[in-house]
Amino acid sequence: MKSLLFLALTATLAAAAPRPNVVFFLIDDLGYADCGFNGGTDIKTPNIDKLAAEGAILENHYVQPVCSPTRASLMTGRYVSHTGVYTIVRPHSKWGLPLEERTLANALKDAGYTTAITGKWHLGEFQDAYKPTSRGFEHQHGHYFGAIDYFTHVRDGSHDWYHDDKELKEEGYSTHLVAKEAVRLIEAQSKDKPLFLYMPFNGVHSPMQVPDSYLQPYGSLTGGRKQLAGMLAAVDEAIGQVVAALEKQGMRANTLIVFSADNGGPPPGSNTPLRDFKGSIYEGGVRGAAFANWPGKIPGGQRLTAPMHIIDWYPTLVKLAGGTLEQKLPLDGRDIWPVLTEKAPSPHDAILSAQSIQNAAVRMGDWKLIVSSGAVEDDEAPKKKKAKAKAKGGKYEPVMLFNLAADPSEKTNLAAKEPERVATMKAKLAELLKDAVPLGVKP
């Protein structure tokens, strides 16, 4: 009887324990070394850097090479080889994140959270069932496509700005509008419920547009780098506004903030010292600038080196929220809370980076194997783009092995010198891809 009473009391206390608000900043096309916390020196990011310094910087945080696949991985806790979202969901494409996938927003909403997205969705919009308010988000503000005009909110002749999945004519620079809506949501949040606020900025993705006032501090920079600096400064300002709103509402102490790039930066972004850029499974394409901050819960001043993947946030956040991970589709992500709070080793024995079934990589410890047999798949690309993709696929040798601890820039292919390691890692990669689905699982 005493044991049963103790268990009941424990369960009651656990249920009564405050669950964190979660704010997830996803920055579009941010370079690994563009912000100060990862070595950047020419662009001022004081709000971002302060959060990073007071939290845990994640030096080996893996994402996908391009936009939609990273979003799919975050929303499902599953590798792209299982969702089929290997590439960008282009405007009006007749597919999106498969409807059978349970999203992070679904899981947190079921756990009693207010769920909101303000920013870029990019996971399908051709039918209402694919839009954010049908995928677990109670509130939506922003756009569905990538590469919209920051001022007109138009992409290829289509106006792309919505509130709760209904078209909205709203004037203003999109980074400002995303932040304004986030602040409104924070101010309106009930004290009786925790908040999941997902902020996938369209900054700093092209087109390179920003109000002139943000360029003034960067007179020493030129061209695209100057534009990027202004755009990132606007994102930094927006993040500062969100943090200030959390503080004003008395929510900051119980808010977990996660910050991540969605892929490596393209030029003029900087991924130093990593090799290559967005669109690549070299480290410059798939290792994203990232950190996590929760005052009093995640020790500050850390630089964690344990490899992790954006799929890991799904189980980590759902467990923190007191939600359930029982679901139809199996998860690939692992709980990284012990890594963040106790410097535990990575929960993964291997991490997959798949650009396609033909071009994929696996990281095991300090070692990374890339196996390539062809170009990037894209069944919607015109012939010229397919030819360009095929040429791009040629950047990889058929088998490449790197020791990332000694060679973070992936300059020296050790495959010929390490045949046994190559064989072991090839077998692991094959295991990870054995049930891979085709590109773009369509309804």
pLDDT (tens digit, 9 = 90+) per residue, 278-322? Answer: 999 999 999 999 999 999 999 999 999 999 999 999 999 999 999
- For β-strands 367-372 and 21-27, DSSP reports them as unpaired
Determine the Cα–Cα distance for residues 137 and 113; give it in Å rounded to an integer: 10
- For β-strands 21-27 and 255-261, DSSP reports them as parallel
pTM of the model: 0.92
Q: Give the per-residue pLDDT at 10.
A: 35
Instruction: Take residue 178 and report the two structure tokens written for it.
Output: 């995303």
Residue 27: name the closest of 10, 43, 11 by CA.
43
Tell me the one-letter amino acid at 376.
V
Please, are residues 330 and 343 in contact by the beta-carbon 8 Å criterion?
no
Determine the Cα–Cα distance for residues 422 and 28; give it in Å rounded to an integer: 34
CA distances from 184 to 8, 177, 189, 236 (A): 39, 11, 9, 18
Mean pLDDT to the nearest integer, 183-192? 96
130-154 pLDDT per residue, tens:
999 999 999 999 999 999 999 999 9
Decide if pLDDT at 373 tops 70: yes
Residue 181: name the closest of 208, 157, 200 by CA.
200
Please, are residues 223 and 268 in contact by the beta-carbon 8 Å criterion?
yes
Tell me the one-letter amino acid at 91.
P
Residue 409: name the closest of 57, 33, 41 by CA.
33
Decide if pLDDT at 380 tops 70: no
Mean pLDDT to the nearest integer, 340-367? 97
Decide if pLDDT at 385 tops 80: no
Please, are residues 327 and 102 in contact by the beta-carbon 8 Å criterion?
yes
Please, are residues 373 and 398 in contact by the beta-carbon 8 Å criterion?
yes
* Domains of the chain, start order: 20-342 (3.40.720.10), 351-433 (3.30.1120.10)
Question: Among 18-22, 41-45, 179-183, 336-340, which stretch is predicted with the lowest mean pLDDT?
Answer: 18-22
Q: Give the per-residue pLDDT at 260.
A: 98
DSSP H/E element including 69:
helix 67-76
Mean pLDDT to the nearest integer, 97-106? 98
Decide if pLDDT at 13 tops 80: no
Decide if pLDDT at 122 tops 70: yes
Q: Give the per-residue pLDDT at 400.
A: 98
Please, are residues 76 and 83 in contact by the beta-carbon 8 Å criterion?
yes
Instruction: Take residue 399 and report the two structure tokens written for it.
Output: 């088998």
- The number of beta carbons lying within 10 Å of the beta carbon of residue 427 is 11
Residue 300: name the closest of 24, 51, 20 by CA.
51
392 by Cβ neighbours in 10 Å (0-12 / 13-18 / 19+) ranks as middle
Decide if pLDDT at 383 tops 60: no
Q: Give the per-residue pLDDT at 374.
A: 61
Determine the Cα–Cα distance for residues 424 and 127; give it in Å rounded to an integer: 44
Q: Give the per-residue pLDDT at 389.
A: 38
Q: Which residues are catalytic?
A: 67, 122
Q: Give the per-residue pLDDT at 248.
A: 98
Residue 175: name the closest of 145, 204, 215 by CA.
204
- The number of beta carbons lying within 10 Å of the beta carbon of residue 60 is 20
Decide if pLDDT at 8 tops 50: no
Please, are residues 283 and 276 in contact by the beta-carbon 8 Å criterion?
yes
Q: Give the per-residue pLDDT at 378.
A: 38
